[in-house]
Amino acid sequence: MPHDTGNPGDNPEGNPWTVLTSTMKYENPWIEVIEHQVLTPKGTPGIYGVVRPRSLATGVVPIDDQGNVTLVGQYRFPLERYSWEIPEGGGDKGVDPQVSAARELLEETGQTARHWMPLMTLHLSNCITDEVAYTFLAWGLEQGAACPDDTEVLATRRVPFAEAVAMAMRGEITDSMAVASLLKLRLMAADGQLPDDVARLIRL
């Protein structure tokens, strides 16, 4: 929707772009692609394409009673490569992200968790998309049967928390939600910010 941004110098956190028109260029059940005709922060004409997912992104770091993290492996179509990640998936924007994360954890790993803690809010690739991700820590796990959807061919592996962090540091895990969540947990553990029962499990 067109709007005036005023002088960006008056507010360094204000929007320096002026949107002239917005046009839907593509849509499917999962995303919209919007092309905006704009005036750039320098006042010159330009275009800006934005990808808008129809769902929220969610992820969860599940810690079992031995201090292991369950990782999920799958082939990522856009990257044309295999990726090891934390359990992740989309959730309806009208649903509590923790509920969606718990559903994804069950679908991808067969696990349910007695305890949950919010971990991070992330903006993924924020130069081209407004996608928002919410990640969580989960523990007190019970194992059941996984039920991935038709688009997923998944593998799972359990590794000690320290090894999952090392995989992120070595570049063996590159998924942004996984890397950020694992490293934040590592810092929280070092700073004594985790619940005592989780701190004992990961033994850092």
CB 20 within 8 A of CB 39: yes
Helix, strand or coil for residue 154?
coil
Q: Is there a catalytic annotation at residue 152?
A: yes
Q: Residues with Cβ < 8 Å from 170, sequence gap 6 or more?
A: none
Single out the catalytic residue among 35, 107, 152, 163: 152
Taking the C-alpha atoms of residue 58 and residue 20, their distance in angstroms, rounded to an integer, is 33
CB 47 within 8 A of CB 36: yes
Helix, strand or coil for residue 104?
helix
Closest by CA position to 86, among listed 50, 61, 116: 61
Helices (H) and strands (E) in the chain, counts: 4, 10
Helix, strand or coil for residue 68?
strand
* Active centre residues (catalytic): 152
